[in-house]
């Protein structure tokens, strides 16, 4: 079975093709970052228009390896959560294509997509496990009993981890999105140089909070001025350490508290080098396994959507033609809102 995946929930226009397995055939991502960079963040209206401009080219490229046009068996598309205008471009395109080819389509929750990136690995993680989803909009801990069964056991009370990286990078004039820039600068810095706060240190609390870190970073800059050279590297390493320390500790505490034997990382921030190292080291120490997806499958892509769609379509699930897209859709609500 060949399944096309489409992802347009934010600022990446992406399409991918999977075959049975799910096995990745193509993974095409057109990043709009250059378009939004000059605004210091994503402009939703411009993002929707860019998706319209790019989607045909991106989908065509993803479908290239199909032996014949009729070989496509189904289409999966992100229908939430995300920017509503952007979601509508992808979902209406997917429905139109599925209707014209008389094949089924399925709406996928973007967070389930992030988790499904793990299904594309040769060595797939076993169930049940604990998942940490960390992206620009989410910092969530889920107990995953099996594919499609998620229980939220912790979430951010304010900013998401990626949002904290992006906002602090903006204070440092490192451009947008800032997570990757902080990661690069941190590689040459001393993570112990500045003791940034770690919120909610109680081992039994699985919620996160990053607004205090953001305030501490701003106050440090107001007091000491914009760092340059080694001071900038140290500042980035200290911020990154504060975020990665809290995320990795809470993930492991939550896995142990729920009697789970392993953890899966997902979302753009899962590409962070320090977070990956700390999660792996701390899991090894506690006798837990850790699954770290390849970095290109951490940030937004359609391979993960195609993988989730392949799982659902091969079980016979279909979305009705009347289903639309929604900006909010908690992952532990199993049914897709219309
Ligand atoms: O999953 P994603 O691509 O989009 C959303 O669903 O939000 O995540 C984007 C987020 C951004 O906040 C970006 O700064 C962050 O992931 N990010 C990183 C790294 N690469 C991307 N944060 C820290 N270190 C990285 N290497
Ligand atoms: Zn995402």
Residue 69: what pLDDT?
87
Tell me: do 133 and 94 sit in the same domain.
Answer: no
For ligand 1, atom 2, the nearest C-alpha belongs to 268
Tell me: do 135 and 216 sit in the same domain.
Answer: yes
DSSP letter assigned to residue 165 = H
Reported as a single tens digit per residue, the pLDDT across 259-283 is 999 999 999 999 999 999 999 999 9
Question: Does residue 122 fall inside a structural domain?
Answer: no
Provide the residue range defining the domain that includes 307: 2-116+298-314
With bands split at pLDDT 50, 70 and 90, how would you rate the model's confidence at 306? very high
Number of domains the chain is built from? 2
Question: Does residue 328 fall inside a structural domain?
Answer: no
Residue 337: what pLDDT?
59
d(CA 23, CA 318): 21
Tell me: do 215 and 250 sit in the same domain.
Answer: yes
Question: Does residue 320 fall inside a structural domain?
Answer: no
Tell me: do 103 and 138 sit in the same domain.
Answer: no
Q: Which of 109, 136, 241 to mutate to test the pocket of ligand 1 (most atoms within 8 A of CB)?
A: 136
CB 117 within 8 A of CB 107: no
DSSP letter assigned to residue 335 = S
Judged against a pLDDT cut of 80, whether residue 130 lies above it is answered with yes
Tell me: do 204 and 310 sit in the same domain.
Answer: no
Tell me: do 81 and 150 sit in the same domain.
Answer: no
Tell me the backbone φ, ψ of residue 98, rounded to 5 degrees. Answer: -65, -40
Query: Percent of the chain, pLDDT > 70?
Result: 99
- Centre of ligand 2 to C-alpha 37, Å, is 18
Judged against a pLDDT cut of 70, whether residue 173 lies above it is answered with yes
Judged against a pLDDT cut of 70, whether residue 137 lies above it is answered with yes
- Centre of ligand 2 to C-alpha 267, Å, is 5
Residue 332: what pLDDT?
87
Contacts (Cβ under 8 Å, ≥6 apart) of 285: none
Residue 50: what pLDDT?
98
Tell me: do 44 and 131 sit in the same domain.
Answer: no
CB 241 within 8 A of CB 191: yes
Question: Does residue 174 fall inside a structural domain?
Answer: yes
Tell me: do 93 and 204 sit in the same domain.
Answer: no
Tell me: do 134 and 277 sit in the same domain.
Answer: yes
- Centre of ligand 1 to C-alpha 153, Å, is 22
- Centre of ligand 2 to C-alpha 308, Å, is 14
Tell me: do 94 and 134 sit in the same domain.
Answer: no
Q: Which of 29, 156, 162 to mutate to test the pocket of ligand 1 (most atoms within 8 A of CB)?
A: 162
Residue 333: what pLDDT?
75
Reported as a single tens digit per residue, the pLDDT across 64-123 is 999 998 999 999 999 999 999 999 999 999 999 999 999 999 999 999 999 999 999 999
- Centre of ligand 2 to C-alpha 118, Å, is 14
Tell me: do 19 and 132 sit in the same domain.
Answer: no
SS3 172: coil
Q: Which CATH number characterizes residue 304's domain?
A: 3.30.420.40
Judged against a pLDDT cut of 70, whether residue 334 lies above it is answered with no
Tell me the backbone φ, ψ of residue 7, rounded to 5 degrees. Answer: -135, 120
Question: Does residue 86 fall inside a structural domain?
Answer: yes
Judged against a pLDDT cut of 80, whether residue 3 lies above it is answered with yes
Question: Does residue 213 fall inside a structural domain?
Answer: yes
Residue 336: what pLDDT?
62
- Centre of ligand 1 to C-alpha 320, Å, is 32
As a whole number, the mean pLDDT across the chain is 97
Tell me: do 237 and 309 sit in the same domain.
Answer: no
Q: What is the mean pLDDT of residues 169-180?
A: 94
Helix or strand (DSSP H, E) at 153: strand 149-155
**Residue listed under structure tokens 């911020």:** 239
Lining ligand 1 with CB less than 6 A are: 10, 135-137, 162, 165-166, 177-180, 183, 267-269, 271-272, 299-300
Question: Does residue 325 fall inside a structural domain?
Answer: no
Q: 185: exposed, middle or buried (C-beta count within 10 Å: 0-12, 13-18, 19+)?
A: buried
Question: Does residue 24 fall inside a structural domain?
Answer: yes
For ligand 1, atom 24, the nearest C-alpha belongs to 272
The atom number, within ligand 1, closest to the CA of 9 reads 6
Judged against a pLDDT cut of 70, whether residue 154 lies above it is answered with yes
């Amino acid at each position: 079975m060949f399944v096309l995946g489409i992802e347009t929930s934010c600022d990446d226009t992406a399409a991918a093709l999977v075959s049975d397995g799910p096995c990745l055939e193509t993974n095409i991502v057109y990043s709009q970052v250059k378009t939004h960079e000059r605004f210091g963040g994503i402009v939703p209206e411009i993002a929707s228009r860019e998706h319209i401009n790019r989607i045909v080219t991106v989908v065509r490229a993803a479908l290239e390896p199909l032996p014949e046009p009729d070989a496509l068996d189904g289409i999966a598309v992100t229908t939430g959560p995300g920017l509503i205008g952007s979601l509508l471009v992808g979902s209406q395109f997917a429905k139109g294509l599925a209707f014209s080819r008389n094949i089924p389509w399925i709406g996928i929750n973007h967070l389930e997509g992030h988790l499904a990136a793990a299904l594309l690995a040769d060595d797939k993680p076993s169930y049940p496990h604990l998942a940490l989803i960390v992206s620009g909009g989410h910092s969530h801990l889920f107990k995953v009993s099996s594919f499609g069964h998620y229980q939220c056991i912790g979430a951010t009370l304010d900013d998401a981890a990626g949002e904290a990286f992006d906002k602090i990078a903006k204070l440092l004039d490192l451009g947008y999105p800032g997570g990757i820039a902080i990661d690069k600068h941190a590689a040459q810095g001393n993570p112990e140089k500045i003791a940034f706060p770690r919120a909610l240190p109680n081992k039994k609390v699985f919620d996160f909070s990053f607004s205090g870190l953001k305030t501490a970073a701003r106050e440090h800059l107001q007091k000491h001025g914009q760092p340059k050279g080694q001071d900038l590297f140290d500042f980035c390493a200290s911020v990154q350490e504060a975020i990665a320390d809290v995320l990795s500790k809470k993930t492991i505490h939550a896995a142990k508290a729920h009697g789970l034997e392993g953890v899966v990382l997902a979302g753009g921030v899962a590409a962070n080098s320090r977070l990956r190292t700390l999660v792996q080291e701390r899991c090894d120490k506690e006798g837990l396994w850790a699954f770290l997806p390849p970095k290109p499958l951490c940030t937004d892509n359609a391979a993960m959507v195609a993988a989730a769609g392949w799982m659902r379509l091969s079980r016979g699930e279909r979305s009705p033609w009347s289903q639309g897209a929604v900006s909010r859709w908690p992952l532990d609500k199993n049914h897709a809102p219309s």
